[in-house]
A and B are shown apart, each in its own frame.
Chain A
Amino acid sequence: MSGLWLVARREIATRGRTKAFVIGLVISALLVGALAFLPKLFAGPDSYTVGFVGPSTLQPALTGAAKDVEITVKPFADEAAARKAVLDGDVDAVVVDDRRVFADGEVDRELGLLLEGAHQTAQAGRQLAAAGLDAAKVAEAMRVAPLEQVSVGADTRYAGARTGIATLLVMLLFFQLLQPSMYVAMGVVEEKGSRIVEILLTSIRPWQLLGGKIVGLGALALLNLVVVIVAGLGAAAISGFASDMPPGIGGVVVSTLFWFVLGYAFFATLAAALGSLVSRQEEVSSVLTPMMMLIMAAYFVSYFAAVEPGSPVARILSMIPPFSSMVMPVRTAAGEVPLWEMGVAAALMIIATAAVLVVGARIYERAVLRTGARVKLSEVVRDGSAVAR
């Protein structure tokens, strides 16, 4: 086992120190962090500055009614000063004598609704008081519970946020599965092409070399994924997007990490086995074509699943390996997934991954010491006597 850890450590030290890795890590964290601010940018501001000219009964109604929104109040001496402030953008709107609203163009839609509501409340209170009703009783009568929203269909309150998170997850998983798998293949070819593998394999077993490479590069990919998730959630907490996120985001994170580990083990082993067939870096991309096509297919299905998580295509493919490794976490983020479907998907993927590990390790072992021309897969599978071990 120690051989495996030594190999893994070398991979981590070598790859983790490269500029490409560090820059990739920082950029992906920044990117996802920035994305967490995006919904708030499109949703419009959470705070308004409202000016008032003259005494106002609307003002307490406005500041009292708005719970999610922060309202800053600014008094103005006269209309002229108020107009100037509006034009300068110092205030979003000015209420003049509780009768008119100044704005630069139209009033912001949400602020307009808030102002109108406050106006209704204040005006109704004033008119009822004028009709001789007791002020306290009026206030009592005016307190109305808001309408309760009940969805008789699926719970779509968080549909937008869910789709957004799921889409992000598609890209994240795609890159974090594809890139480290490519690195695994390139590392295998580097060792085979330079024949360093001849020395390595007189010191350690093929499974230690292969396992160490997959574990080491996988640990870096996992680190990258965790950093990106933490950056995203952290930024969401700061931007206030966290409050709009659907419940159970912790479950989505756990499911993502779980599926990533399985998917990575599957694709990285496949990449290593295919990579071991060739001896030159130029041949890597062509020999990896089948694996790339598999990942690309999973990628497109995942996109579809992010938008239509409940469709039959998404449901079925989220249970079929290796597509499940991307589609299932995306579906989990995009909507509700029955527990039994998760169970079936996990069981099938674990079986598939174990099979790829066994077969892939055998192909690698038989092909990696065969120098010269590209090794045919059929040769490796047929002839087990390539190397005496």
Chain B
Amino acid sequence: MIEIDDLHKRYGDKTALAGVSFAVKPGEMFGFVGANGAGKTTTMRILMGVLAADSGQVRRDGRPLTFEDRRKFGYMPEERGLYQKMKVSEQVQYFGRLNGMSAAQAAKATADLLERLSLTGRAGDEVGALSLGNQQRVQLAVALVHDPEVLVLDEPFSGLDPIAVDALAEVLVERRTAGVPVLFSSHQLDLVERLCDSVGIISAGRMVASDTVEELRAREGRRLLKVVVRDAAPGWTAGLGGNITEKGDEVLFTDVNGSDQEILRAATKAGTVEHFGWERPTLTEIFREAVA
């Protein structure tokens, strides 16, 4: 388990992190979301040891993280960096070897990864000759080549086409299933919602939510009541509590405050109730609500 405990970081008199804490369990995919400048990259750089926190700690299974721990992590920094003049396959192998793989292991892992990321045809090209999206795939291969025990990826999906998004998602799910904690940041909330077990929302250097997706939705869920009544007499909602939005037969109630059963009775009286239930908010809605 990776624990981030009460991180604080200031740049001059600007506070970037003001007490960030969350945990990523083995076999859990954790989506790290937040507005631009909220502190995601800062948190991840501290986690990877390329930036020092002013205070706070990062632990693995209760012990503070060491260099040796981090060597076994797979890291994709926000600002992509590759040797432009080095060939794709050589470059991925080089990073495998730096992480302690033998030449043969690195060669095999590289070939497998390039295959999965549809880069086999470009293996002998210089990285600089690749399109941005393909360079991004090489960057992923570099993060994944040594079969990391933990994955820390800063916006890994940005700049990828839908096919590559699926390929990467597949790789991440596979790693997660193998028991690897996966932490990634993203602005693509639908993707986070689809892939992640847990989500952490950061706003202005503070965690405003951190929980499983189910839990977050359930907690935020009792806000929007959707009722559909066929052949209802107009004005049946008059006098009912909450904010009301009508659209044809469909009526949305917010801020119901416990008057849901009263609404149900009124609906039954008004006509044939076709739908009555709480709307599950999307992650986007939860996010908007949380950072507002």
**Interface of A toward B, CB cutoff 8 Å:** 3, 6-7, 10, 14, 190-191, 194-205, 369, 371, 385-389
Contact = CB atoms under 8 A, between A and B. Distances in A.
B86 interface: yes
- By Cβ-Cβ distance, the 4 closest A-B pairs, closest first, are A196-B81, A195-B81, A194-B81, A388-B52
Contacts of B95: 199, 203
A380 to B, nearest CB: 14
Given A195-B80, A196-B81, A196-B82, A203 B50 contact: no
A14 B85 contact: yes
B20 to A, nearest CB: 16
B52 A202 contact: no
Nearest to A385: B52
Contacts of A191: 81
A202 B81 contact: no
B71 interface: yes
Interface in B39-94: 45-46, 48-53, 67, 70-71, 73, 75, 77, 79-86, 94
A203 B69 CA distance: 10
A129 B48 CA distance: 103
Interface of B: 45-46, 48-53, 67, 70-71, 73, 75, 77, 79-86, 94-95, 97-99, 142-143
Given A387-B51, A389-B49, A202 B70 contact: yes
A198 B80 CA distance: 10
A385 B9 CA distance: 12
A202 B71 contact: yes
A199 B46 CA distance: 13
B142 A202 contact: no
A166 to B, nearest CB: 38
A315 to B, nearest CB: 46
B89 to A, nearest CB: 13
Contacts of B71: 202-203
A139 B83 CA distance: 81
A198 B52 contact: no
Contact of B49 (A10, A200, A385, A387): A387
Contact of A194 (B49, B82, B142, B143): B82
A387 B45 CA distance: 10
Contacts of B52: 385-388
Contacts of B77: 195, 198-199
Contacts of B86: 10, 14
Given A195-B81, A199-B95, 15 more contacts: A7-B98, A14-B85, A194-B84, A198-B81, A199-B75, A199-B81, A201-B49, A202-B50, A202-B71, A203-B98, A204-B98, A371-B79, A387-B52, A388-B49, A388-B51
Contacts of B84: 194
B67 A198 contact: no
Contact of A6 (B85, B94, B143): B94
A369 B80 CA distance: 14
28 contacts: A3-B98, A6-B98, A7-B98, A10-B86, A14-B83, A190-B83, A194-B79, A194-B82, A195-B77, A196-B81, A196-B83, A197-B81, A199-B75, A199-B77, A199-B142, A199-B143, A201-B49, A201-B50, A202-B48, A202-B73, A202-B75, A203-B71, A385-B52, A386-B52, A387-B49, A387-B51, A388-B46, A389-B49
A199 B152 CA distance: 11
A388 to B, nearest CB: 4
A387 B81 contact: no
B91 to A, nearest CB: 9
B48 A198 contact: yes
Contacts of B94: 6, 10
A58 to B, nearest CB: 70
Most chain A C-beta atoms within 10 Å of own C-beta, residue among B67, B79, B98:
B98
A346 to B, nearest CB: 35
B83 A198 contact: no
Given A199-B77, A200-B98, A369 B50 contact: yes
B16 to A, nearest CB: 13
B181 to A, nearest CB: 16
Contacts of B82: 194, 196
Most chain B C-beta atoms within 10 Å of own C-beta, residue among A7, A195, A196, A204:
A196
Nearest to B76: A199
A387 B50 contact: yes
B98 A195 contact: no
A172 B268 CA distance: 98
A6 B97 CA distance: 8
Contacts of B48: 198, 202
